[in-house]
Structure 1
Amino acid sequence: MTRFVMVAGAWLGAWAWDDVAPELRAAGHEAYALTLSGLAEKQGVPAGQQTHVQDIVDEVERLDLRDVVLVGHSYSGVPVGQAAERTGDRLARVVFVDSGVPVDGESALDGFPSDHVRKSLAENGGVWPPLDPADYAGHDLTDEQIARMVADGTPHPGATLTEPAVLAHPLADLPATYVKCLLDGDELLPSADELVASGRWELVRMDTGHWPMFSRPRELARILVESATRS
């Protein structure tokens, strides 16, 4: 049995995994979804990037989990990757779902063209507002799914995006799977592409958009389970 700890990306909370967690449990595994500080039901809690790293480490230790697969989607791949190396022998694998990956000394915004995000942070008091419904078009989502993401999404704390990552060891040392969602583009971010190209990380492609926990929850759960067997 594998224990999955799943963390969604910007604007989202634990609720984003509502359709994935039951699939994992039905397959005989434990599944825990985590809301990061400053988001969803934790909105208003001050948070920087290292706060989010500690959120993840604390959850693993609080639940006293072993053989843990950490799952980071989108933004959360950056704190999840840092938390992974701090969980020691509790870790079985990391799965990065169409996400950023941490680069020591660089922020989450350094890994992609992000001037529009920085501008938004400056214009909105240091938070990144949730997307508009039109921004979700073309990502294999139903109108109902988009409506829920818009209604339940909360502003993302900007310091988590601008603070630098801190890594003690090369990220390639982690046992990892990278899931690329093809409707979000078929090219990986340079930092992730380098790690996958090294041959030490597994690459899995999904023919869906950037939010597969909504668009393809059963398929994503299957990929998570299969990746755990490679640990």
Structure 2
Amino acid sequence: MTAFILVPGVFTGPYVWDEVASRLTATGAEVHAVALTGLGGARPSAGGYGADGTGAGHAGHTDLETHIADVLTVIDQVVRETGQEIVLVGHDYGIHPVLGAADRRAESIARIVHLDSGLPRDGVPALAAVADQGLREEASRAAEGGPGAVLPPPARDAWQLWGSTAGVPGPALDLLTALASPQPLGTLLQPLSLTGAAAGVPVTGVLCTHGGAGIAMVQARVDFGDPALRALTGPRVTFFELPTGHWPMLSDPTALADTLLRAARGEGHHLTPADASEPGPFPLDVPELPAERTGFLDLYLPPSAPGPRPALLLVHGGPVPREARPTPRDWPVLSGYARYAASAGVVGVTLDHRLHALTDYGSAADDVAEAVERVRADPRVDADRIALWFFSGGGPLAADWLARPPSWLRCLAASYPVMAPLPNWGRLADRFLPVDAVARAGSLPLVLVRAGLEADAVAATVEAFLTAARTCGAVVEVIDVPNGHHAFETTDRTEESREAVRRSVRTVLRHLRA
């Protein structure tokens, strides 16, 4: 039999697990919902576990070690009283005390479940995983109150800043708000200490797709060469998706309970190692033109084309890990579009920009602006005929050009773009909101390539952008790929995909040459 130990996230206590726990116990499983100190548990006393799990004690304030001690207490109780195999489940922030406890009791843990949580690393505090810059700043200000400082829980309409509330019924959201506790800041600011003792424990990740995460996106980051995710391709690691928001224990407890039972049995999706998954080729046969490389730019020049030519700059998405190889300008899809444009008499340009994390949009925008200026200054380029084409997570970088379109920008295109922050991103600076910026686009020709089988969270941003465009009178030419997935050029080897590439390039070049 299995004993599930369920650890809640920020501001929440064991009550969030009530519905899931009842479904698990109905199958015969033993369930323990942990009351973390200050979040449903008592205040810390002078006794308890220390950093090594042996009893050094805490007195004065609650920190991450306090919560690790709370989880250790339950683990030791289960081992002492039942000897059952333990599945440790950490939701959100709860994965930090889960990993800290598993590191010290690895021999007692059968599986660790990351429930819509990050991948904490040794020496990194939980606050580093908070995507929203405003929330991090709020926590930093609150920390000035001293060791016992707390972060107030969110108001009812602000929970979405901590994760998508999609699917959570109104009464459940009311209860979540009413029972929320202030989060002791020491729990978010104290770095997690790991020895690696639990590295061999099987792991399952449960991704809640309405927040923007999904197995395909994790696989994409693995394919980028993200070293932090390399271990996730091992045989001990599985994944599940739940089509709901960040609080599945409230929005779909039945599906979550079933998923946890399947995870305990070792079921789930396995990722493919990066070295076993070569990037797919460009879907069309295009000339093998050489790239002229200068700094972070690659130019593909039209063969035997006299005089200055229009230029098309292709802006990749992300975030892309800094260590990713090949870098985006060498991805087959981008170099393929650039060579396709060059074969049609237009200078195709790919570039590497610095979007390595959600906090890097400012640096990436600077890189794009510099690339544009360098290309326009090239005597082989017609500086008055430039087009920009943004892909995927590069969508927010389009906002600068939508808000202040220069006269030489003849077209702005976007393929399967993210046009507003995804729910698990938190807030972006107003500068990077294409949904708002389109109101100032004027008569700039806009082309949007939409994947019919897009992830729900991304598709919602595209629909919001198109709604805003209709409201302000901006004209957007939409090219639909009904059976296409995100990055359909390499994921879907179909005639529909190939025709979508042909049509989108023809449309962009028509505006560029006008």
What TM-score comes out, normalization by structure 1 length?
0.90
Contact 2:103–2:197 (8 Å) recurs in 1: no
| Structure 1 position 100, deviation (Å) | 2.5
1:65-214 to 2 correspondence within 5 Å?
A: 65-124=83-142, 125=145, 126-136=149-159, 138-169=165-196, 172-186=199-213, 187=217, 193-198=229-234, 200-214=236-250
Q: Which residue of 2 aligns with 1:56?
A: 71
Contact 1:43–1:154 (8 Å) recurs in 2: no
Q: Which residue of 2 aligns with 1:227?
A: 263
What TM-score comes out, normalization by structure 2 length?
0.42
SS in 2 for 1:40: coil
> Is the deviation greater in 76-85 or in 210-219?
76-85
1:10-21 to 2 correspondence within 5 Å?
A: 10-21=10-21
Contact 1:85–1:174 (8 Å) recurs in 2: no
Contact 2:64–2:97 (8 Å) recurs in 1: yes
> Is the deviation greater in 218-227 or in 112-121?
112-121
| Structure 1 position 112, deviation (Å) | 4.2
Contact 1:101–1:191 (8 Å) recurs in 2: no
| Structure 1 position 88, deviation (Å) | 2.9
What is the alpha-carbon root mean square deviation over aligned residues?
2.4
- Structure 1 CA distance for aligned equivalents of residues 231 and 250 of structure 2: 27
Give the number of aligned pairs. Answer: 231
Question: 1:92-117 CA distances to partner (integer Å, 9 max, x unpaired)?
Answer: 11111001332011111223435323
Gaps of 5+ in 1: none
Contact 2:204–2:263 (8 Å) recurs in 1: yes
Q: Which residue of 1 aligns with 2:253?
A: 217
> Is the deviation greater in 171-180 or in 187-196?
187-196
**Percentage of identical aligned residues:** 32
- Structure 2 CA distance for aligned equivalents of residues 224 and 157 of structure 1: 28
SS in 1 for 2:128: helix
| Structure 1 position 42, deviation (Å) | 2.8
- Structure 1 CA distance for aligned equivalents of residues 193 and 157 of structure 2: 35
Q: Which amino acid aligns with 1:108?
A: A
| Structure 1 position 43, deviation (Å) | 5.7
> Is the deviation greater in 100-109 or in 192-201?
192-201
| Structure 1 position 58, deviation (Å) | 1.4
SS in 2 for 1:17: helix
Q: 1:81 to 1:200 in 2, by over 3 A?
A: same
For the pair shown, which has the larger CA radius of gyration, 1 or 2? 2
